[in-house]
Structure 1
Amino acid sequence: MFTNFNYKIIAFAIVFAVISSGCKSTANQSKKENAVVLQKENFKHYVDYFNTMEEENLKFAIPNDSAWTWMKNNIPLFECPQQNVEEIYYFRWWTARKHIVNTPQGYAITEFLVDRSYADQFNLISCALGHHINEFRWLHDPKYIEQNVHVWFRGNEGKPMKKLRTFSSWTADALYNRYLVNKDDKFLLDIYPDLVSEFAAWEGDRKRKDGLFWQFDVKDGMEESLSGARKFRNARPTINSYMYGNAKALATISKMKGATKQAEYFSAKADTLRNLVETKLWNAKDEFFETYTEKDTLAQVREAIGFIPWYFNLPQKNKGFEKAWEQIKDEKGFSAPFGLTTAERRSPRFRSHGSGTCEWDGAIWPFATAQTLTAMANVLNNYDQKVVDKTDYFKQMELYVQSQYYRGLPYVGEYLDETTGYWLMGDRERSRYYNHSTFNDLLITGLVGLRPRADEKIEVNPLIPQEKWDWFCLDNVLYHGNIITILWDKTGEKYHKGKGFRIFKNGKEIAVSDKLEKLISE
């Protein structure tokens, strides 16, 4: 039993941790960190098992022997009847903390565990920074991602790291999405000038005369693509969607800051980009967003990057753009036995570049899968369409889970063969635990369906077919300073909270339905 003295010690420890981490969020200072339904210790066996799978040859800020302590203090808990989904959920948290490193500037997050010659200081690579922010926003302790962002933008004697813009970026969008989870406006407003400067820098050296942005495919982290090459200056759906998302985010942050003129400025930038993407990158014949080449012609090939506009809800509704999503169900399109390919399978150049040199000509990349599934969840939540449904989403999430095994053990690497599931660099040390995608963010916001928003309503729209699982629970989610619990119990016998679908806030039930359907608390 806790005494008053114990509580004082705990309170002091929390305040000290917040101050020392540089976090200014009042929401986090009053948070409750107790799961409502699930018991943390019931999931420790996953970490014990993962620790036995390897000889830990590389150790950084949080080694294996500290992994469980770190996880139980930081992550939402998840339970479901499909064992591989549950296992990969915990595996991805276990692998994510491997990439946290100590630097003289604070914590940072790597992409590779082994040193890469083209990385910045501290072995940092900016390609997946947006993925890192979206994944790490669900941790209870904000210091890891906040310090990582500060290292990137201010770690070079107060200036950005030299290789911050080596790769295209959707950082402003990701940081605003993080704000929607923790409501830490002080951190967001503090980093705002850095994000504005980054946006201007991209406009300075990547903007075409027509207003579109160009990028080498390798600087999108997607080299050897069917639509481009390492030295082709093409207007790709990637960077143009990223810049749209960043402009929308900066417009909103400007409003938060009270900077009306800047809000109007970035809103206009977003509107212009939306129009350009819809008019110049949409191939009406292929019914798909495609790369617009440096020769001012469409590439005439469908690639997974054509789904990225929906990652940012860019395409306008009711204009027929959703037709593109038919391709994820087409085996001649992107549907393959082990997931979604990076180029359409009907192309005569599909998988034509060989393998082993980071080709994006069709093989499955988790980086792209994560982007496509985030975009697909947006389509299912924000668009009135009948092209794809929950069954399609669940199928692709299952395939994504199934792909994350190698020789019978949980594994995430760089890219894999679409028909065999074989990890193409699975035997290379550089590929192990590749931190280049999201998974847990997809499960939280897509599969379970917690949709972050700026107001205090809690919206949950699970993309799990009604009869797929009889029960599941996502617990210990720190959201707007509160602990959120989401559960489905078809019979009421699993969790003894009653039959149906329920949302709890700090242990108090705030929404309920007898069906697995969208719920919004009042």
Structure 2
Amino acid sequence: MNFKYKIIAFVILISALNSSCKSGSGHSQKSQAVILKAENYKHYVDYFNAMEDENLKFVIPNDSAWTWMKKNVPLFECPQQNFEEIYYFRWWSARKHIKKTPQGFAITEFLVDRSYADKYNMIACAVGHHINEFRWVHDPQYIEQDVKLWYRGNDGKPMNKLYKFSSWTADALYNRYLVNYDKTFLLDMYPDMITDYAVWEKDRQRKDGLFWQHDVKDGMEESLSGGRKVQNARPTINSYMYGNAVAIAKMAEMKGDKDVKAKFEVKANDLKQLVETKLWNSKAEFFETFTEKDTLAQVREAIGFIPWYFNLPEKNKGFEKAWEQIKDEKGFSAPFGLTTAERRSPRFRTHGTGTCEWDGAIWPFASSQTLTALANVLNNYDQNFVAKTDYFKQMSLYVESQYFHGKPYLGEYLDETTGYWLMGERERSRYYNHSTFNDLVITGLVGLRPRADEKIEANPLIPQDKWDWFCLDNVLYHGNIITILWDKTGEKYHKGKGFRIFKNGKEIAVSEKLERIVSN
């Protein structure tokens, strides 16, 4: 073989290696379910495609939806059909928002163009939700390009409207790392996250160290505790900044930046103390908004649960008592889910309809935050105020709420007693990409808890007597395919009785009961 052909052969070999192993991308070519057969769920997509007029087509139109889902998403089945249907509906609707731009993929919030959006119709409010949901998609390019577009899409600088809304992006990116173990991408975004934090400190930090925000820039326009122009220290932005500080400290440790790690640990600890002392209403036993007049708002709102989204509240100090309010019909418990303000308030649902009210109506944005926080409480806190039954009940209501005119539907907000989607007839409301659901199924309901080590942990928040079987399959986690199943009798999946975890088809953990199990 002469030199010319040796060079050609070498180039072909390198090309083949690159295509079969995307080093540092976190994207494995493995996409093979162990137990479930993908074709058994295609009928859902056929139904979704047939139930609508396809108003807009972007990267993955309806006729390509199943092909994309089959390649990219975990499979799930259970005996409760509506759970299964909404699970596949949420993947089907999420891919509608993948949009191709000259600078890579973007993920939108609304399908229709909004006047207040940034370039490419991007809105920053739900970026944290997008990252947490898309971290389970096998192909990493969609969410990675979206994040880079937000932070570098303006001639190498952040997009103009990135800071129009509060965000927990650093926390979400670290959580994504816990799923795909892609240290390269995380640390590539590390300097952007440090800069991001500094911008919020400059623009929104008070002299006492708390952060303030307009309700509207928290994505929560008409609330009971503030207003569109009021500068209150809200549990939202302060919890987000705590979560971001913790995440940046962990990134710094990975990078070997000891000084940065120490600095952000101090920032996180200071915020933790401020939230626990200034935002906690000991009489109401709840985290509340601290107003610009330096008084508590004296009203419970769903944002008071957000500190647990980031495991902020200290354990064994009684803070968990706040969670009793999700069981109280005078609190947040309503026929179609968790309200955004306590129902006992004389101002509950007094702001009218049609101007994005957060005065009590149910918003999936908040429901998914509260359910993520509740899963953290049930996993990480020793308490007796809430249990798996409470989580399962609220997940069931969340599922039931995602229907409109008898068909699967996802919109902006809904009436807490009738389940009717407020402004649901508006074209803008359809497929509103402003929340998570499948992440809750995976990390909460089935209970795969992402970790920084090589152990695989599952703690299902399904009561023992609720389902006789379920299976989550084709989960790409740390570069491996994970399968988690429960089979009460052993007759459904023929792998024996009990709760099991498989890694690349090999059983690695088992229990006779539906309980937390961790692989060795």
Alignment of 1:35-184 (within 5 A): 35-184=33-182
In structure 2, do the counterparts of structure 1 residues 61 and 13 end up closer, same or farther at CA, with 3 Å as the change threshold? farther
What displacement does 1:12 show? 6.6
Q: Aligned AA for 1:212? A: L
Q: Aligned AA for 2:147? A: V
What displacement does 1:425 show? 1.4
What is the aligned partner in structure 2 of residue 455 from structure 1? 453
Does the residue aligned with 1:28 lie in a helix, a strand or coil? Answer: coil
Q: Deviations over 1:354-396 (max 9, x none)?
A: 0111000000000000000000000000000000000000000
CA contact (8 A) 1:475 1:484 kept: yes
Alignment of 1:114-513 (within 5 A): 114-513=112-511
What is the aligned partner in structure 2 of residue 4 from structure 1? none
What is the aligned partner in structure 2 of residue 28 from structure 1? 27
What displacement does 1:55 show? 1.1
Does the residue aligned with 2:352 lie in a helix, a strand or coil? Answer: coil
What displacement does 1:17 show? 8.1
Q: Aligned AA for 2:371? A: L
> Over aligned residues, Cα RMSD in angstroms?
1.4
Q: In structure 2, how many angstroms separate the alpha carbons of the residues matched to 1:372 and 1:50?
A: 28
What displacement does 1:28 show? 3.1
What displacement does 1:214 show? 0.1
Q: Aligned AA for 1:154? A: R
CA contact (8 A) 1:240 1:277 kept: yes
Q: In structure 2, how many angstroms separate the alpha carbons of the residues matched to 1:319 and 1:148?
A: 40
What displacement does 1:14 show? 8.7
Q: Aligned AA for 1:117? A: S
Q: In structure 2, how many angstroms separate the alpha carbons of the residues matched to 1:95 and 1:14?
A: 34
Does the residue aligned with 1:219 lie in a helix, a strand or coil? Answer: helix
Q: In structure 2, how many angstroms separate the alpha carbons of the residues matched to 1:15 and 1:301?
A: 57
What displacement does 1:33 show? 1.6
| Number of residue pairs aligned between Structure 1 and Structure 2 | 509
Q: Deviations over 1:432-488 (max 9, x none)?
A: 000000000000000000000000000000000001000000000000000000000
What is the aligned partner in structure 2 of residue 5 from structure 1? none
CA contact (8 A) 1:134 1:441 kept: yes
Q: In structure 2, how many angstroms separate the alpha carbons of the residues matched to 1:285 and 1:361?
A: 22
Q: Deviations over 1:83-111 (max 9, x none)?
A: 00000000000000000000011000000
Q: Aligned AA for 1:196? A: I
Does the residue aligned with 1:254 lie in a helix, a strand or coil? Answer: helix
Q: Aligned AA for 1:164? A: L
Does the residue aligned with 2:159 lie in a helix, a strand or coil? Answer: coil
Q: In structure 2, how many angstroms separate the alpha carbons of the residues matched to 1:14 and 1:40?
A: 28
Q: In structure 2, how many angstroms separate the alpha carbons of the residues matched to 1:297 and 1:238?
A: 17
Q: In structure 2, how many angstroms separate the alpha carbons of the residues matched to 1:135 and 1:242?
A: 17
CA contact (8 A) 1:32 1:506 kept: no
Where do 5+ consecutive residues of structure 2 fail to align? 1-11
Q: In structure 2, how many angstroms separate the alpha carbons of the residues matched to 1:142 and 1:345?
A: 41
Does the residue aligned with 1:230 lie in a helix, a strand or coil? Answer: coil
In structure 2, do the counterparts of structure 1 residues 504 and 14 end up closer, same or farther at CA, with 3 Å as the change threshold? farther
Q: Aligned AA for 2:19? A: F
Q: In structure 2, how many angstroms separate the alpha carbons of the residues matched to 1:13 and 1:278?
A: 55
Q: Aligned AA for 1:363? A: A
What is the aligned partner in structure 2 of residue 16 from structure 1? 19
In structure 2, do the counterparts of structure 1 residues 346 and 14 end up closer, same or farther at CA, with 3 Å as the change threshold? farther
In structure 2, do the counterparts of structure 1 residues 290 and 434 end up closer, same or farther at CA, with 3 Å as the change threshold? same
Q: In structure 2, how many angstroms separate the alpha carbons of the residues matched to 1:55 and 1:428?
A: 14
What is the aligned partner in structure 1 of residue 7 from structure 2? none
What displacement does 1:32 show? 2.3
What displacement does 1:251 show? 0.3
Q: In structure 2, how many angstroms separate the alpha carbons of the residues matched to 1:166 and 1:273?
A: 22
Q: In structure 1, how many angstroms separate the alpha carbons of the residues matched to 2:414 and 2:20?
A: 41
TM-score (norm 1): 0.96
Q: In structure 1, how many angstroms separate the alpha carbons of the residues matched to 2:242 and 2:160?
A: 24
Q: Aligned AA for 1:28? A: H
Where do 5+ consecutive residues of structure 1 fail to align? 1-8
Q: Deviations over 1:294-320 (max 9, x none)?
A: 000000000000000000000000000
Q: In structure 1, how many angstroms separate the alpha carbons of the residues matched to 2:84 and 2:356?
A: 29
Q: In structure 1, how many angstroms separate the alpha carbons of the residues matched to 2:20 and 2:294?
A: 54
What displacement does 1:57 show? 1.9
Does the residue aligned with 2:417 lie in a helix, a strand or coil? Answer: coil
